[in-house]
Every structure is written in C-alpha cells, then in structure tokens.
Amino acid sequence: MKDTPGLMKMLPTYKFGGYTFRPAVVADIPLARAWNAVDPDHIWERQFPQYWIQQGDRMNSYAFEDARGVLFFMKTIRDFSGKEVEINIQFDRERKQVSVLRLMIGMAAGFEWLKKSLPMNGFEAVYFVSRNRSLCEFAEKRLGFVRDGGREIYIFGGEYDGQAGCSQTQEVAQV
C-alpha cells in the first residue's frame, strides 16, 4: 500500500495515565488547520489540508488528548533503515485552547510512553527538526533530547549506531 492521504489504515488507540493517543481523523482537520494557520514553523502545510491525518506505509498521524481535548497532533515518519522515526508536532501556538503547562505535562507523559513503545518496535532513535527554540530547549532539558546538527535526537538505550556523529551516551533529564 502506498502512502495516500485519503486512505485511513486501521491503527490502534492507546490509553495511558489519563491520556489518549489515537489516529487523527477527518474531523480533526479544522483544529489542526486553525493551529497551523498561526504557526510560522508549519505555514507550508497550509497547502496540504490532509497533512495531519495522513496515514501510510511509513507514516502515521495521531491526536494526543487529555480529558479536556486535543493537546497536539503528531505525525511519525519512519526512515528507510527502520532504526529512526521522525516526529512532527502541531500544537496551539497562541495558547487559546491549550496552556503551555498543560502542553508540557502532556508532551512529557506522551514521550515517556514513546520511550517504551518505540524500542519494542525496533527503533533506536527518535528525532525532530524545529526552529522553535522553546520547544528544542524543553526537549533537551526535560525530555533528554540532544542537539545533532539541525535536529534534536533521543537515542534509546544510550548508544546509537545509525549515523556518523550520533554515537554517544545520553543522559536522560528528569521530567
């Protein structure tokens, strides 16, 4: 099956610690687009209204929720080696619906869950690319990511053999 924006794969929904990590659906497009419209780091995605709900062979799109609603949208894109997964996140940059504190607490809980589930599926690392310095600093100080060139990377188990320049021991920050 090739990656197609209109085709929704049957993905599981995960519930843990008062959070729900579920596949994003068509009904999520208006909220994702509203958050996208005011986010200068994701402005290019306006051309692709289905971006935050796309599902495919190498990509999955999710909504991460607490009891009050969606905290952020997340797209995962698996690299061809099968060792790394890139994450893209869209959240409420204007803080109209989701406060910074609520977002950070949710991101920390979600990442704790990812740190357990991704290695069980064969991944050695997760990374993201962002110009949002606040997001990068949060990921480094609270989630344990390290800067690697133009990306932030978290290496599961400390050692990484995927790319030159990434082999290092990683200290995990206290959340």
Nearest to 1 by CA among 54, 47, 44, 68: 54
Q: Which two tokens stand for residue 49?
A: 């209204």
Strand order through the sheet with 151-155: 14-16, 19-23, 59-66, 69-78, 84-91, 125-128, 151-155, 146-148
How high is the mean pLDDT in each 10-residue block of the chain (175 residues)? 48 95 96 89 76 91 97 95 94 92 97 94 94 94 94 84 38 30
- Rounded Cα distance, 128 and 58, in Å: 16
Block residue for tokens 């208006």:
30
pLDDT at 173: 31
pLDDT at 159: 58
In order of their start, the domains of the chain are 14-155 (3.40.630.30)
76: left (phi over 0), alpha (psi -120 to 50) or beta: beta
pLDDT at 98: 96
